[in-house]
Amino acid sequence: MKTLKTIFTILAVAILTISCSSDDDKADPIVYNAENPLDLYLSGSGFNQKSIDLKDAGMYEYGFSFKPTVNGKITSFFAKIPDVNVNLRITLWDVATKTVIKSETMNVSIANMSFQKTIVPIPLVKDKEYFLTVNSDDWIKRTKTDGSATTYPIIAGNITITGYAYISSTAAQTLFPTSSSNTYYAGDTSFLFQQTE
């Protein structure tokens, strides 16, 4: 009987040890740093060399296309324009279908000041192409000093910028940008991206 008690005691200790050790072995989930690709895009393209503010220059839907190199999510939109716009619309598009994934309006209450709007996270799929646009008649035209073209794609952290495009537009959201340019970027609109796996 004493042997049986000893065996049960050893088994109980072993089970507790295994149970506790498996709880301790679980790694904490990885939390990745959030990143805004705009500065790396501007420096990688050379479009950080010269800028001109354009106001009331005609209504356009304009922005850049991109692919995430990892799965992740957009948690905020950013905008900086050279004029006040209490209803500035920022839109994320699916390039393959040319359809809107999400639109948000921002209150840009001070010209040439960067504004951030936290949003319900939008999941992004690795290697899928998206397009981020803004609808405005005001923008910061960014070029190289010599006006030469840049070469796409441009690596900006976990985001690969695949191009810049625009289309003449009204406030109605029906037109996907189809006119591309590699000699300038009209901005500044961007997003905060966080890797999820």
| Phi-psi category of residue 114: left, alpha or beta, with phi > 0 → left and psi -120 to 50 → alpha | beta
Domain boundaries, given as residue ranges, for the chain:
34-195
Q: Which of 114, 132, 136, 126 is nearest to 197 (CA)?
A: 126
Query: Coil, strand, or helix at residue 96?
Result: coil
Predicted confidence at residue 189, as pLDDT, reads 94
The pLDDT of residue 169 is 80
pTM of the predicted structure, to 2 decimals: 0.84
Do residues 84 and 138 lie in contact, with contact meaning Cβ atoms separated by under 8 Å? no
Check residue 119 and give its pLDDT.
97
pLDDT of 178 reads 93
CA 153/CA 159 separation, integer angstroms: 10
Give residue 113's pLDDT.
Answer: 95
* CATH T-level assignment (fold) for domain 34-195: Jelly Rolls (2.60.120)
Going from the first residue of the chain to its last (197 residues), give the mean pLDDT of each consecutive group of 10, the final group possibly shorter. Answer: 53 51 66 94 97 94 97 97 95 96 95 96 98 96 97 97 92 81 95 95
